[in-house]
Amino acid sequence: MLSIERNLQAAERVGKSHNRPRSLAFYGKGGVGKSTVVSNLTAALAHKGRRVLQIGCDPKRDSSRNLIKTFPPTTLMDLLSVGKTDLVPADILMDGGENVECIEVGGPKPGVGCAGRGLGRLFEELETMEIFDRGYDYVFYDVLGDVVCGGFAVPMRDGYAEEVYVVTSGEFMSLYAANNIARGIANYAEQGDIRMGGLIANVKDLAFDRALIEKFAARIGTHVVWYLEWNKIVYEAERRRKTVLRYAPEHAFAQEWLEMADAIEKQAKPHIPHPMSDTELDVFLEELFGIQAED
Protein backbone atom coordinates (compact mmCIF):
# COMPACT_ATOMS: atom_id res chain seq x y z
CA MET A 1 0.00 0.00 0.00
CA LEU A 2 2.84 2.34 0.88
CA SER A 3 4.56 1.83 -2.50
CA ILE A 4 1.28 2.57 -4.31
CA GLU A 5 0.92 5.79 -2.35
CA ARG A 6 4.49 6.82 -3.23
CA ASN A 7 3.90 6.15 -6.91
CA LEU A 8 0.76 8.29 -6.84
CA GLN A 9 2.67 11.10 -5.12
CA ALA A 10 5.45 10.91 -7.70
CA ALA A 11 2.91 10.98 -10.54
CA GLU A 12 1.24 13.99 -8.97
CA ARG A 13 4.57 15.84 -8.82
CA VAL A 14 5.21 15.15 -12.50
CA GLY A 15 1.69 16.29 -13.36
CA LYS A 16 2.14 19.56 -11.50
CA SER A 17 5.21 20.56 -13.47
CA HIS A 18 6.68 18.84 -16.52
CA ASN A 19 9.36 21.53 -16.66
CA ARG A 20 11.10 20.55 -13.47
CA PRO A 21 14.90 20.56 -13.44
CA ARG A 22 16.96 17.54 -14.30
CA SER A 23 17.56 15.82 -10.97
CA LEU A 24 20.68 13.78 -10.18
CA ALA A 25 21.64 11.96 -6.99
CA PHE A 26 25.25 11.09 -6.22
CA TYR A 27 26.04 8.10 -4.03
CA GLY A 28 29.26 6.26 -3.20
CA LYS A 29 31.37 4.79 -0.46
CA GLY A 30 32.25 7.24 2.30
CA GLY A 31 35.56 8.97 1.62
CA VAL A 32 35.55 8.34 -2.13
CA GLY A 33 35.42 12.08 -2.87
CA LYS A 34 31.74 12.40 -3.64
CA SER A 35 31.25 15.92 -2.29
CA THR A 36 34.37 17.09 -4.12
CA VAL A 37 32.99 15.67 -7.35
CA VAL A 38 29.52 17.17 -6.84
CA SER A 39 30.65 20.67 -5.86
CA ASN A 40 33.16 20.90 -8.71
CA LEU A 41 30.58 19.65 -11.19
CA THR A 42 28.10 22.21 -9.86
CA ALA A 43 30.64 25.00 -10.38
CA ALA A 44 31.42 23.77 -13.90
CA LEU A 45 27.77 23.70 -14.96
CA ALA A 46 27.22 27.13 -13.39
CA HIS A 47 30.21 28.39 -15.39
CA LYS A 48 28.39 27.18 -18.51
CA GLY A 49 25.38 29.28 -17.55
CA ARG A 50 23.26 26.56 -15.96
CA ARG A 51 21.33 27.27 -12.76
CA VAL A 52 22.09 24.58 -10.17
CA LEU A 53 20.62 23.76 -6.77
CA GLN A 54 22.96 21.55 -4.75
CA ILE A 55 21.40 19.77 -1.77
CA GLY A 56 23.72 18.28 0.83
CA CYS A 57 22.07 15.24 2.41
CA ASP A 58 24.80 14.43 4.92
CA PRO A 59 24.49 15.41 8.61
CA LYS A 60 28.11 16.64 8.41
CA ARG A 61 26.68 19.57 6.36
CA ASP A 62 29.85 19.88 4.31
CA SER A 63 28.58 19.30 0.77
CA SER A 64 28.46 23.02 -0.01
CA ARG A 65 31.65 23.93 1.86
CA ASN A 66 33.57 24.84 -1.30
CA LEU A 67 30.73 26.86 -2.79
CA ILE A 68 29.04 29.01 -0.15
CA LYS A 69 30.50 32.25 1.12
CA THR A 70 29.96 31.63 4.84
CA PHE A 71 30.65 28.47 6.81
CA PRO A 72 29.29 26.63 8.73
CA PRO A 73 25.90 26.78 7.03
CA THR A 74 22.47 27.02 8.57
CA THR A 75 20.74 23.70 8.00
CA LEU A 76 17.12 22.70 7.73
CA MET A 77 17.43 20.56 10.85
CA ASP A 78 18.96 23.48 12.77
CA LEU A 79 15.87 25.55 12.03
CA LEU A 80 13.43 22.78 12.86
CA SER A 81 15.22 21.96 16.12
CA VAL A 82 14.58 25.47 17.45
CA GLY A 83 10.92 25.33 16.49
CA LYS A 84 11.09 27.38 13.30
CA THR A 85 7.83 27.08 11.35
CA ASP A 86 6.40 28.46 8.12
CA LEU A 87 9.75 28.31 6.39
CA VAL A 88 10.34 30.31 3.23
CA PRO A 89 13.06 29.73 0.60
CA ALA A 90 15.27 32.46 2.04
CA ASP A 91 15.48 30.51 5.31
CA ILE A 92 17.32 27.56 3.80
CA LEU A 93 18.76 28.66 0.44
CA MET A 94 22.40 29.77 0.55
CA ASP A 95 24.32 31.71 -2.07
CA GLY A 96 26.77 29.33 -3.75
CA GLY A 97 28.12 31.87 -6.22
CA GLU A 98 26.84 32.83 -9.65
CA ASN A 99 24.06 30.50 -10.85
CA VAL A 100 24.33 28.31 -7.72
CA GLU A 101 22.16 27.94 -4.64
CA CYS A 102 22.73 25.41 -1.89
CA ILE A 103 20.77 23.69 0.84
CA GLU A 104 22.18 21.60 3.68
CA VAL A 105 19.82 19.22 5.43
CA GLY A 106 22.03 18.67 8.46
CA GLY A 107 21.10 16.25 11.20
CA PRO A 108 21.28 15.49 14.91
CA LYS A 109 24.46 15.55 16.95
CA PRO A 110 26.64 12.43 16.49
CA GLY A 111 25.17 9.51 18.39
CA VAL A 112 21.79 11.18 18.86
CA GLY A 113 18.70 10.42 16.77
CA CYS A 114 18.36 9.29 13.17
CA ALA A 115 20.21 11.37 10.58
CA GLY A 116 18.12 9.97 7.72
CA ARG A 117 14.88 11.36 9.10
CA GLY A 118 15.78 14.87 7.99
CA LEU A 119 15.57 13.89 4.33
CA GLY A 120 11.92 12.93 4.57
CA ARG A 121 11.14 16.26 6.18
CA LEU A 122 13.28 18.11 3.63
CA PHE A 123 11.11 17.11 0.70
CA GLU A 124 7.95 18.07 2.52
CA GLU A 125 9.39 21.55 3.01
CA LEU A 126 10.73 21.82 -0.53
CA GLU A 127 7.33 20.96 -1.98
CA THR A 128 5.56 23.43 0.31
CA MET A 129 7.98 26.21 -0.70
CA GLU A 130 7.81 25.19 -4.39
CA ILE A 131 11.61 25.15 -4.52
CA PHE A 132 11.65 22.98 -7.64
CA ASP A 133 9.76 25.61 -9.60
CA ARG A 134 12.39 28.33 -9.21
CA GLY A 135 13.90 27.86 -12.66
CA TYR A 136 16.85 25.58 -11.91
CA ASP A 137 18.35 23.56 -14.74
CA TYR A 138 19.76 20.96 -12.35
CA VAL A 139 19.15 19.74 -8.82
CA PHE A 140 21.97 17.70 -7.33
CA TYR A 141 21.57 15.50 -4.25
CA ASP A 142 24.84 14.73 -2.50
CA VAL A 143 23.88 11.72 -0.39
CA LEU A 144 25.64 10.22 2.60
CA GLY A 145 27.93 7.27 1.90
CA ASP A 146 26.59 4.10 0.31
CA VAL A 147 23.33 3.94 2.25
CA VAL A 148 20.43 2.92 0.02
CA CYS A 149 17.84 2.16 2.67
CA GLY A 150 15.84 4.18 5.17
CA GLY A 151 15.93 7.98 5.03
CA PHE A 152 18.97 8.20 2.76
CA ALA A 153 17.16 6.30 0.01
CA VAL A 154 14.44 8.97 -0.19
CA PRO A 155 15.83 10.81 -3.27
CA MET A 156 15.72 7.63 -5.38
CA ARG A 157 12.87 5.83 -3.61
CA ASP A 158 10.34 8.65 -3.78
CA GLY A 159 11.10 9.80 -7.31
CA TYR A 160 12.90 13.06 -6.59
CA ALA A 161 16.14 11.99 -8.28
CA GLU A 162 15.64 10.58 -11.75
CA GLU A 163 19.29 9.66 -12.31
CA VAL A 164 21.76 8.13 -9.86
CA TYR A 165 25.50 8.45 -10.40
CA VAL A 166 27.86 6.38 -8.30
CA VAL A 167 31.27 7.80 -7.46
CA THR A 168 33.78 4.98 -7.10
CA SER A 169 37.46 4.15 -7.08
CA GLY A 170 39.07 0.87 -8.07
CA GLU A 171 39.33 -0.32 -4.46
CA PHE A 172 37.51 -3.45 -3.35
CA MET A 173 35.15 -1.81 -0.84
CA SER A 174 34.36 1.07 -3.19
CA LEU A 175 33.26 -1.36 -5.92
CA TYR A 176 31.35 -3.38 -3.32
CA ALA A 177 29.46 -0.21 -2.34
CA ALA A 178 28.82 0.64 -6.00
CA ASN A 179 27.24 -2.77 -6.56
CA ASN A 180 25.12 -2.34 -3.44
CA ILE A 181 23.86 1.04 -4.66
CA ALA A 182 23.10 -0.48 -8.07
CA ARG A 183 20.99 -3.07 -6.28
CA GLY A 184 19.02 -0.29 -4.63
CA ILE A 185 18.48 1.41 -7.98
CA ALA A 186 17.28 -1.83 -9.57
CA ASN A 187 14.85 -2.43 -6.70
CA TYR A 188 13.37 1.07 -6.78
CA ALA A 189 13.23 1.11 -10.58
CA GLU A 190 10.38 -1.38 -10.34
CA GLN A 191 8.33 1.22 -8.43
CA GLY A 192 9.08 4.36 -10.43
CA ASP A 193 11.31 6.25 -12.85
CA ILE A 194 14.64 6.09 -11.01
CA ARG A 195 17.50 4.96 -13.26
CA MET A 196 21.28 4.75 -13.16
CA GLY A 197 23.25 7.40 -15.02
CA GLY A 198 26.58 5.61 -14.68
CA LEU A 199 29.82 5.55 -12.70
CA ILE A 200 32.17 8.43 -12.02
CA ALA A 201 35.64 7.09 -11.33
CA ASN A 202 37.69 9.14 -8.88
CA VAL A 203 41.05 7.39 -8.69
CA LYS A 204 44.63 7.84 -7.54
CA ASP A 205 46.23 5.74 -10.27
CA LEU A 206 44.30 5.81 -13.52
CA ALA A 207 46.64 3.41 -15.32
CA PHE A 208 46.00 0.75 -12.67
CA ASP A 209 42.32 1.33 -11.89
CA ARG A 210 40.84 1.97 -15.31
CA ALA A 211 40.72 -1.65 -16.48
CA LEU A 212 39.25 -2.79 -13.15
CA ILE A 213 36.46 -0.25 -13.20
CA GLU A 214 35.66 -0.83 -16.88
CA LYS A 215 35.23 -4.57 -16.26
CA PHE A 216 33.09 -3.93 -13.21
CA ALA A 217 30.89 -1.45 -15.10
CA ALA A 218 30.35 -3.89 -17.96
CA ARG A 219 29.48 -6.67 -15.49
CA ILE A 220 26.66 -4.70 -13.86
CA GLY A 221 25.32 -3.29 -17.11
CA THR A 222 26.46 0.33 -16.85
CA HIS A 223 29.32 2.52 -18.08
CA VAL A 224 31.86 5.02 -16.81
CA VAL A 225 30.78 8.58 -17.45
CA TRP A 226 34.12 10.14 -16.55
CA TYR A 227 37.52 9.40 -15.07
CA LEU A 228 39.18 11.75 -12.61
CA GLU A 229 42.75 11.15 -11.47
CA TRP A 230 44.05 12.66 -8.25
CA ASN A 231 45.57 16.11 -8.66
CA LYS A 232 47.13 18.25 -5.95
CA ILE A 233 45.26 21.33 -7.16
CA VAL A 234 42.07 19.90 -5.62
CA TYR A 235 43.64 19.97 -2.16
CA GLU A 236 44.97 23.47 -2.69
CA ALA A 237 41.53 24.70 -3.71
CA GLU A 238 39.69 22.94 -0.88
CA ARG A 239 42.00 24.40 1.75
CA ARG A 240 40.64 27.77 0.61
CA ARG A 241 37.03 26.49 0.46
CA LYS A 242 36.89 26.74 -3.30
CA THR A 243 36.33 24.52 -6.29
CA VAL A 244 39.16 24.03 -8.77
CA LEU A 245 37.46 26.11 -11.47
CA ARG A 246 36.99 29.06 -9.13
CA TYR A 247 40.42 28.80 -7.53
CA ALA A 248 42.58 28.14 -10.58
CA PRO A 249 40.48 28.59 -13.75
CA GLU A 250 43.53 28.39 -16.02
CA HIS A 251 44.76 25.10 -14.54
CA ALA A 252 44.50 22.04 -16.80
CA PHE A 253 42.45 20.21 -14.17
CA ALA A 254 39.83 22.97 -14.27
CA GLN A 255 39.24 22.03 -17.89
CA GLU A 256 38.61 18.46 -16.74
CA TRP A 257 35.54 19.56 -14.81
CA LEU A 258 34.18 21.52 -17.76
CA GLU A 259 34.59 18.47 -19.99
CA MET A 260 32.94 16.30 -17.37
CA ALA A 261 30.02 18.74 -17.22
CA ASP A 262 29.68 18.37 -21.00
CA ALA A 263 29.64 14.59 -20.61
CA ILE A 264 26.87 14.78 -18.01
CA GLU A 265 24.80 17.06 -20.22
CA LYS A 266 25.18 14.71 -23.18
CA GLN A 267 24.43 11.54 -21.24
CA ALA A 268 22.47 8.85 -22.99
CA LYS A 269 19.15 7.77 -21.54
CA PRO A 270 19.66 6.43 -17.98
CA HIS A 271 19.24 2.71 -17.54
CA ILE A 272 18.41 -0.04 -15.06
CA PRO A 273 21.61 -1.80 -13.91
CA HIS A 274 22.03 -5.54 -13.40
CA PRO A 275 23.97 -5.79 -10.14
CA MET A 276 25.48 -8.95 -8.75
CA SER A 277 24.42 -10.89 -5.68
CA ASP A 278 26.86 -10.81 -2.78
CA THR A 279 28.17 -14.25 -3.74
CA GLU A 280 28.58 -13.32 -7.40
CA LEU A 281 30.28 -10.07 -6.45
CA ASP A 282 32.73 -11.79 -4.13
CA VAL A 283 33.77 -14.26 -6.82
CA PHE A 284 33.91 -11.57 -9.50
CA LEU A 285 36.08 -9.21 -7.45
CA GLU A 286 38.43 -11.98 -6.34
CA GLU A 287 38.93 -12.99 -9.97
CA LEU A 288 39.21 -9.36 -11.06
CA PHE A 289 41.88 -8.44 -8.54
CA GLY A 290 43.64 -11.76 -9.04
CA ILE A 291 43.93 -11.19 -12.80
CA GLN A 292 45.10 -7.62 -12.22
CA ALA A 293 47.79 -8.76 -9.77
CA GLU A 294 49.11 -11.36 -12.26
CA ASP A 295 49.14 -8.79 -15.04
Q: Output the DSSP codes for 233-291.
A: HHHHHHHTT--HHHH-TTSHHHHHHHHHHHHHHTPPPPB---PPPHHHHHHHHHHHHHH
Measured CA angle at 30 (ends 24, 35), to 5 deg:
45
Which position among 58, 142, 146, 158 bears the catalytic label?
146
| Inter-residue contact 197 to 165 (CB < 8 Å) | yes
Which position among 34, 142, 158, 209 bears the catalytic label?
34
Which position among 48, 60, 62, 137 bears the catalytic label?
60
Active site residue 78: no
Distance, CA of 29 to CA of 145 (rounded, Å): 5
Active site residue 146: yes
Active site residue 34: yes
Q: Output the DSSP codes for 19-58.
A: TPPEEEEEEE-TTSSHHHHHHHHHHHHHHTT--EEEEEES
Q: Which residues are catalytic?
A: 29, 34, 60, 146
